[in-house]
């Protein structure tokens, strides 16, 4: 085989064109194989699927509703704007969908302990929640910087019985929390499952997390069809690692006329270098176990990302997004901090919904795309999370005294 080029489609499991795969210490291969087998078996097991569906219905609150945002739409070229309300899930974001699935798998595999990384704290809170529900010991790694930015979520995790370990290495943010969780996993792999929070990381995580999140798009596709009688013209979502975006995109990939648009964190602007827009402003490489786009320097060292949103502040992105971008099936754009905060405030004041700052990037994208497509267009937006956790950041940004 010659060097991989993007025209050579790699059809092995866990590969998305030239992206994905497994770039991990050999010590973890057995655990990843085991996880892959457990996941594949569970996806075919009616008992597992019924148990998960029951939790969705009676615990996290699925199906989540859709809401038409008419007043917000007036600012988006008059296009029809439909919000998929993942913010109404228990724990306040889409992260619970993935965590319930992975924690159930851990329990089935007889593991007593789970670990997780978290940036904004939403995945950590969701993990701590699922662990409490299922009686598992839970350890959450969180960059020391993020424990300060998101102290409310640290308290929530502790209230839920999880141990939160501040990570003081490297840039002290999400990427270092992932490194530390990997080190824990290498050491404790027999007793422990790693609940990975997004569609990045080594195979099977990108596929497994997508399988647990694709319910968002499956529900939303049917809901939009029922409401409008047709498919939306575009589906929009913010992209950190990419789990809420792949979750809402996946069921629409086959609908070739539906545009899929991912909104990355543009920070101060991609041209400033201070951003987290990995596909828009990064290059292909390997980080955290998979080949994808990443922010890196000329020596292949990971470069720190910047965003007002802790949940999007990550220098990597899921490999399936890298692939969808390369083949032209999905588009990715960068939204600056200022654009996101404008959309944040607009949704608060026009619809009475305080979104997560991550989600506000998707809303800012809707303002752009709505104006481009005009009033005959219908846009479906993944409202991935609510903004309770961001009240302090937003108050500071808008100069509201606390």
Partner 1 sequence: MTTPLAQLFKKTQSENRAALIAYIPAGYPTQEGCKAVIDVFADAGVDAIEIGFPYSDPVMDGPTIQEAANTSLNAGTGAKEVFDALAHATSRGVPSVVMTYWNPVEKYGVQEFAESISSNSGSGVITPDLPVDEAQPWKTACAESEINSIFVVAPSTTDQRLEKVTAQCSGFVYAASLMGVTGARSGISSGAKDLVDRIKKVTDTPVAVGLGVSTREHAKEVAAYADGVIVGSAFINALSGADSLDSGIKAVRALVEQLALGVREGRG
Residues that bind partner 1 (CB under 8 A): 1-4, 12, 21-31, 169-170, 175-176, 179, 182-183, 186-190, 285-289, 291, 294, 296, 298-302
Query: 84 an active-site residue?
Result: no
280 binds ligand PLP (CB under 6 A): no
Among 356, 367, 380, 394, binds ligand PLP (CB under 6 A): 356
Question: What is the rounded CA–CA span in Å between residue 378 and residue 202?
Answer: 36
Contacts of 269 (CB under 8 A, 6+ apart): 275, 334, 336
Q: Which is nearer to partner 1, 38 or 238 (CB)?
A: 38
Q: Where are the alpha helices (DSSP H) in 56-197?
A: 70-73, 95-108, 122-134, 144-149, 151-159, 174-188
The listed partner (ligand PLP, partner 1, none) that binds 173, CB under 5 to 8 Å by sort, is none
Q: Minimal distance in Å, beta carbon 10 to ligand PLP? A: 23
Question: What is the rounded CA–CA span in Å between residue 358 and residue 179?
Answer: 23
The listed partner (partner 1, ligand PLP, none) that binds 119, CB under 5 to 8 Å by sort, is ligand PLP
Q: Minimal distance in Å, beta carbon 326 to partner 1? A: 16
The listed partner (partner 1, ligand PLP, none) that binds 21, CB under 5 to 8 Å by sort, is partner 1
Q: Which is nearer to ligand PLP, 93 or 107 (CB)?
A: 93
Q: Minimal distance in Å, beta carbon 66 to ligand PLP? A: 17
Q: Minimal distance in Å, beta carbon 150 to ligand PLP? A: 9
Q: Minimal distance in Å, beta carbon 386 to partner 1? A: 31
**Other CB atoms within 10 Å distance of the CB of residue 254:** 7
CA proximity to 88, closest of 343, 356, 311, 313: 356
60 binds ligand PLP (CB under 6 A): no
Of 9-17, 21-29, 38-46, 115-123, the window that binds ligand PLP (rule: CB under 6 A) is: 115-123
CA proximity to 286, closest of 302, 275, 304: 302
Residue 179 φ/ψ, nearest 5 degrees: -55, -45
Distances (CA, A) of 352 to 347, 349, 362, 381, 387: 7, 6, 17, 16, 12
Residue with CB nearest ligand PLP? 385
How many chain residues bind ligand PLP (CB under 6 A)? 21
The four Cα atoms 41, 46, 47, 48 give a dihedral, to 10 degrees, of 50
341 binds ligand PLP (CB under 6 A): no
Q: Minimal distance in Å, beta carbon 386 to ligand PLP? A: 8
**DSSP for 205-228, written as a single string:** HHHHHHHHHTHHHHHHHHHHHHHH
**Other CB atoms within 10 Å distance of the CB of residue 142:** 33
The listed partner (partner 1, ligand PLP, none) that binds 312, CB under 5 to 8 Å by sort, is ligand PLP
Question: Which of 36, 86, 117, 219 is labelled catalytic?
Answer: 117
Q: Which is nearer to partner 1, 34 or 74 (CB)?
A: 34
Query: 191 an active-site residue?
Result: no
Q: Minimal distance in Å, beta carbon 169 to partner 1? A: 6
The listed partner (partner 1, ligand PLP, none) that binds 243, CB under 5 to 8 Å by sort, is ligand PLP
Question: Which of 84, 86, 95, 305 is labelled catalytic?
Answer: 95
Helix (H, G, I), strand (E, B) or coil at 232: coil
Q: Minimal distance in Å, beta carbon 253 to ligand PLP? A: 17
Q: Which is nearer to partner 1, 4 or 350 (CB)?
A: 4
What are the counts of helices (DSSP H) followed by strands (DSSP E) for the chain? 16, 14
Contacts of 397 (CB under 8 A, 6+ apart): 308, 341
Strand partners, 262: 237, 332
Q: Which is nearer to partner 1, 144 or 218 (CB)?
A: 144
206 binds ligand PLP (CB under 6 A): no
| Token pair in block for residue 312 | 């999007």
Please report which helix (H) or strand (E) contains residue 43, including its range: helix 29-43
Enter the DSSP assignment of 383.
E
Strand partners, 118: 142
Query: 95 an active-site residue?
Result: yes
Question: Which of 180, 219, 384, 389 is labelled catalytic?
Answer: 384
Q: Which sequence positions are flagged as catalytic?
A: 95, 117, 384
Which positions lie near ligand PLP, rule CB under 6 A? 93, 119-120, 122-123, 198, 238-245, 311-312, 356, 358-359, 384-385
């Amino acid at each position: 085989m010659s060097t991989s080029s993007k025209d050579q489609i790699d059809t092995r499991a866990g590969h998305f064109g030239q992206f994905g795969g497994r770039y991990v210490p050999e010590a973890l291969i057995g655990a990843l194989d085991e996880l892959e087998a457990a996941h594949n078996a569970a996806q075919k097991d009616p008992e597992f699927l019924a148990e998960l569906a029951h939790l969705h219905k009676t615990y996290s609150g699925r199906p989540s509703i859709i809401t038409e945002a008419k007043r917000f739409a007036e600012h988006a070229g008059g296009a029809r704007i439909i919000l998929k309300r993942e913010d109404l899930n228990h724990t306040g974001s889409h992260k619970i969908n993935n965590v319930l699935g992975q924690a159930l798998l851990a329990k089935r595999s007889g593991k007593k302990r789970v670990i997780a990384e978290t940036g904004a704290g939403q995945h950590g809170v969701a993990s701590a929640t699922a662990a409490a529900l299922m009686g598992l010991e839970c350890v959450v790694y969180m960059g020391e910087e993020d424990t300060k930015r998101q102290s409310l979520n640290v308290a929530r995790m502790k209230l839920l019985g999880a141990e939160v370990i501040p990570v003081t290495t490297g840039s002290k943010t999400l990427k270092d929390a992932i490194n530390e969780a990997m080190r824990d996993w290498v050491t404790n792999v027999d007793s422990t499952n790693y609940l990975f929070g997004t569609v990045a990381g080594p195979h099977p995580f990108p596929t497994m997390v997508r399988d647990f999140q694709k319910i968002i798009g499956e529900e939303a596709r049917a809901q939009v069809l029922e409401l409008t009688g047709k498919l939306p013209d575009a589906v929009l979502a913010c992209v950190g690692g990419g789990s809420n975006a792949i979750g809402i995109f996946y069921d629409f990939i086959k609908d070739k006329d539906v545009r899929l648009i991912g909104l990355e964190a543009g920070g101060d602007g991609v041209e400033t270098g201070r951003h987290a827009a990995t596909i828009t402003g990064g290059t292909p490489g390997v980080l955290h176990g998979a080949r994808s786009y990443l922010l890196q320097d000329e020596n292949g060292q990971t470069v720190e990302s910047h965003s007002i949103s802790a949940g999007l502040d990550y220098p990597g992105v899921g490999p399936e997004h890298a692939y969808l971008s390369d083949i032209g099936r999905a588009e990715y754009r960068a939204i600056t901090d200022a654009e996101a905060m404008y959309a944040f405030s607009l949704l608060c004041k026009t619809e009475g919904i305080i979104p997560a700052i991550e989600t506000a990037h998707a809303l800012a994208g809707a303002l752009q795309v709505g104006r481009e497509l005009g009033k005959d267009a219908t846009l479906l937006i993944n409202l991935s999370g609510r903004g309770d956790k961001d009240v302090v950041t937003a108050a500071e940004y808008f100069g509201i005294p606390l």
